[in-house]
Amino acid sequence: MKKKNIEFVVGLFLIASILSFAWLSIKLGDIELFSKSTYSVSARFTSISGLKEGAVVELAGVRIGKVTHIALDREEYEAIIHMEIDSDIALQEDTMAAIRTAGVIGDKFVNITPGGADELITNNGEIEETESAISLEELVSKYIFESE
Amino acid sequence: MRNFVEKTGRETIYYVEHAGMMTIFLCSCLIRIFTRPFQLRAIIKQLHFIGAKSVFIIIVAGSFTGMVLGLQGYYVLQRFGSLDMIGSAVALSLIRELGPVLAALMVVGRAGSAICAEIGIMRTTEQIDALECMGIHPYKYLMVPKFIAAIISLPLLTCLFDVMGILGGYFAAVVLFGVNEGSYFQGMYSSVVWADIEMGLIKSFVFGLIIVWVATAKGFFLHLDRSGAFGAEGVSRITTKAVVLSSVAILGSDYLISAILL
Amino acid sequence: MEEHNQKTVIKVKELVTHYGSRKILDGVNLDVKKNEIMVIMGGSGSGKSTLLRHVLGLNSATSGSIEILGTEITTANQKKLYQLRRNMGVAFQGGALFGSMTVGENVELPLREHTNLDEKTMRIMVRMKLEVMNLAGVEALMPSELSGGMVKRAALARAVIMDPTLLFFDEPSAGLDPVVSAELDELIILLRNAMNMTIVVVTHELESAFKIADRITILDEGKIIITDTVENIRNSNLTQVQDMLNRRPRQKELDTEAYLDRLTGDRLQ
């Protein structure tokens, strides 16, 4: 009876804490057990300042994917980002990608504005129209110097 | 002058010898984890003692830590108008730092001291000698189940601490101060990444090892301690030493691990 | 005496040991023959417990050799030592029973660790040994619930559970009343006669030593004064032996100069 009791309590402890672990890693750590099917899209920016791998891709404010890889094009001196987009989201050829900031000091994310073309972007396709990150400092200095 | 030099030499030799002894002890125990037989029953008993019995204190400590983070976070972030960061502030500080460290300190106080006293008493009452004379290796029989149980328990207790802390923060920020529930959890989901959780786990794993190592080694080498005390007074002195040493070692290694992983 | 042509099972040769810089044992020689009860006597601090710990392989010596059942233990590796210890049973002074286990589990432990016997056989063997020790029915009790004499007998039961060829008993009568300690003496003799063990007992209790011993060895300040049969010890005219037998405080020749030095604390040049 005494031994059974110990085993029960230990079992309870293990289950409770493993559940906590599962919640932490799946919900917060973005570990995907049943990974959704996605397709890959790339985009070029003149500057992505502050965007990180793993950043969110949003369309109309809803999360539709994430940034998987960031690289530099050594000939054009441009940033290339690769994104994984949920496969049930279709993007038109003239879709526009922009880098935005959540709030004034929040995280950078990629904002997608849908286009109107008939053709869709396929797997490993590229979003042609992009708008680079707006840097607060640049805006401020532009304002100051232009007003002079 | 000569005395001073002599004393310095003696101290150094003592500490180097002591450190060497503790390291050899650690290595022998770790090697014996992988030798047969695997004492499942003893491991369960230790899991009960180190893990399950710490759950209550971890829940209480975790909730209060989370609540105080929610409270402080609310007042600080409110000044900058960034209340939507409160979720990520609570979660990140818990998962990366406070969870592993506080959970480990709780376990030091509850289980580390008890383990050290237990082994120390076994040493003074010749129970360890008796084990050796029965042909049973004390490292394998006594230490290994404690090592395994501590290494398993600490990361799990830390996860429990984190979750309780996040719920505590939720209670303080959302229920008491009326921060938007969505912004609390959504901020958390988007800012915490796997690397944060991994860091917390690595820390708690190392802390578990430190706790059980210091506690068992201090108790086991009670008779070799410089204070030369034996019996009840020796046990109490060595237990205090073990608690202080493992707490300091936890905080020190916390900095080291953070510096390496960041 | 018939012991003379018997096999030597423990052979200690020129054993010298230190604790820190203090010399504890100073060239100890001791032979224990098969099937005898050897009692090691001496006052507090005479080194008798240290000698026992060395024979058990718990401490390492400065120099000298200890041979047990034909194995040299001062140089033996751990594996060999642990193998050898399965032939040795030890009952420690305080019993050294594990407080977290019942008496039954304590006695059973060596069987559980070293053999593959099934639960029922182990239970029967434990009950048998406890019965011999006059401890029937205490299996389910915790060591803390036993009296001092019962703890010692339980420790003895644990020491003999593997039927060792060698049995060591540290201070069987320490902290016990005369009646209980007489019972233990009977038990020791019984174990030798019934189970053919060689028994080494460390004690400072004269009466019990004379009752159980075949031979007695007397230690004083780390040196062996005499090792002989009970008869010969009684009739010995060595002063230290007579002091001990008659419970006289140790007479020391007073070295006046050294005495003064000790008192004043610094040497007068």
The boundaries of the domain holding residue C53 are: 1-34+42-87+166-172+198-269
DSSP code at position C67? E
Which residues from A are below 8 Å from B157, CB to CB? Answer: 17
| Residue C208 · residue C196 · CB < 8 Å | no
Flag whether pLDDT at A35 surpasses 70.
no
Tell whether B17 is within 8 A of chain C (Cβ): no
Flag whether pLDDT at C47 surpasses 90.
no
Which two three-digit tokens encode residue B100? 């592993």
- The mean of the pLDDT values for chain B is 90
| Per-residue pLDDT reduced to its tens digit, C228-263 | 888 888 887 777 777 777 777 766 666 777 777 777
- Determine the pLDDT at residue B186: 82
pLDDT level of residue A33 (50, 70, 90 thresholds): low
Tell whether B32 is within 8 A of chain C (Cβ): no
Residue C7: CATH number of its domain: 3.40.50.300
Flag whether pLDDT at C3 surpasses 50.
no
- Residue C149 in domain: no
Are the beta carbons of B136 and C58 separated by less than 8 Å?
A: no
Tell whether B192 is within 8 A of chain A (Cβ): yes
Are the beta carbons of A10 and B162 separated by less than 8 Å?
A: no
- The region of weakest confidence among A70-74, A99-103, B73-77 is A99-103
Instruction: Using CB atoms within 10 Å of the CB of residue A16, give its burial: 0 to 12 exposed, 13 to 18 middle, 19+ buried.
Output: middle
Are the beta carbons of C92 and B135 separated by less than 8 Å?
A: no
- Determine the pLDDT at residue C2: 45
Flag whether pLDDT at C269 surpasses 50.
no
Are the beta carbons of C92 and B126 separated by less than 8 Å?
A: yes
CA closest to B128 among chain C residues: C96
CA closest to C84 among chain B residues: B135
Flag whether pLDDT at B93 surpasses 80.
yes
Exposure pattern of B198-213 as b/e (b: 16+ CB <10 Å)?
ebbbebbbbbbbbbbb
Alpha-carbon distances of B253 from A50, A54, C248, C266, rounded to whole Å: 31, 29, 61, 50
Please count the structural domains in chain C.
1
Which residues from A are below 8 Å from B51, CB to CB? Answer: 10, 13-14, 17
Which two three-digit tokens encode residue B185? 């959890």
| Per-residue pLDDT reduced to its tens digit, A110-132 | 888 888 888 888 888 888 888 77
Write the secondary structure of A34-77 as one string of H (helix), E (strand) and C (coil).
CCCCEEEEEEEECCCCCCCCCCEEEECCEEEEEEEEEEEECCCC
Q: CA B241, B246, B252: angle at the middle one, nearest 5?
A: 125
pLDDT level of residue B203 (50, 70, 90 thresholds): very high
Exposure pattern of A123-140 as b/e (b: 16+ CB <10 Å)?
eebebeebebbeeeeeee
Query: Which of A8, A20, A35, A57 has the highest number of chain B CBs within 10 A, making it the mutation to test binding with B?
Result: A20
Three-class SS state of C31: strand
Query: Which of B24, B126, B137, B224 has the highest number of chain C CBs within 10 A, making it the mutation to test binding with C?
Result: B126
Residue B121 CA to residue C146 CA, distance in Å, equals 18
Tell whether B55 is within 8 A of chain A (Cβ): yes
- Residue C188 in domain: no
DSSP code at position B142? I
- Residue C269 in domain: yes
Measured between CA atoms, how close is B216 to chain A, in angstroms?
22
Domain parsing of chain B, residue ranges: 2-261
Exposure pattern of A29-50 as b/e (b: 16+ CB <10 Å)?
beeeeeeeebbebbbbbeebee
- Residue C238 in domain: yes
- The mean of the pLDDT values for chain C is 84
Q: Which of A20-34, B16-30, C38-52, C183-197 has the highest mean pLDDT?
A: B16-30
| Per-residue pLDDT reduced to its tens digit, C142-193 | 999 988 888 988 998 999 898 888 999 988 887 788 888 888 888 889 888 8
Q: Is the pTM of this model over 0.90?
A: no
